[in-house]
Amino acid sequence: MEIPDRLFETILLAVRDAAEEVENGNLTVTDIPEVYENACKKLACFSELSKDNQPEQILEAREKARTGEWFRSKELLKVIRHFYLVDSIEHKNSVTEKSILFVLWCFLGGQYSYTKETVPDLIRTGAQLYLSASKSGRYSYMCKLRGLEEDEKLLVQAVQILKRHSVQVFVQKGTTVINDEDEKKIQLELEQKIEAYGGLKFLQELF
């Protein structure tokens, strides 16, 4: 399920603001991680873990997530992927952003839904959860960032090749995009190489 553009931008802004607070030392924590974990869960408007849920309630929650009215915690993984690609392709440094999101994902899993209005509060409380978990020493495995996944490595390698051919590649919503002009240029170059190499022979070598 794709996160609607406006909601994704809201999430990115909230994560960047929370990361800035963490890095500047403006966000303090006074409680154990479980307190912030529970605060994050209380912000949810719906939990699929409830035994009282009816099937239609779960379907309704997923439909609201599809339209961007609600945000499901499982989509945190897409936002994490976005920052990994931004760092690798655009040479940014989003360690704090990734750390906040990863710890929040580890504590919540994918079963909670939030209204779009509560997303900033969720992310900020998630930043407090990250700080508290880091200090506690009991959740070091959650606070250690993973490396690139295999498919992410392949994507980054492909982007590097395209950039060597002067193709501009951008990261949007956890994936890569190329503008129409560059896409046409790639298509034309492939067609020319197929023609020059001998059509079928080239396709055999390609696939």
Predicted structure pTM score: 0.83
Q: How far apart are CA 104 and CA 18, in angstroms?
A: 13
pLDDT in tens, 22-58: 999 999 899 999 999 999 999 999 998 888 888 888 8
| DSSP, residue by residue, 2-23 | PPPHHHHHHHHHHHHHHHHHHH
Q: How many residues does the chain have?
A: 207
pLDDT tens digit sequence for 152-173: 888 889 888 888 878 888 888 8
- Structure confidence by residue, pLDDT tens digits, 99-121: 999 999 999 999 999 999 999 99
Q: How many Å apart are CA 105 and CA 75, to the nearest integer?
A: 9
pLDDT band for position 192 (cuts 50, 70, 90):
confident
For residue 176, what is the enclosing H or E element?
strand 175-178
Tokens of 49: 């873990």
> In whole angstroms, what is the distance from residue 39 CA to residue 126 CA?
9
Task: List phi, psi (to 5°) of 187.
Answer: -60, -45
What's the confidence (pLDDT) of residue 52? 86
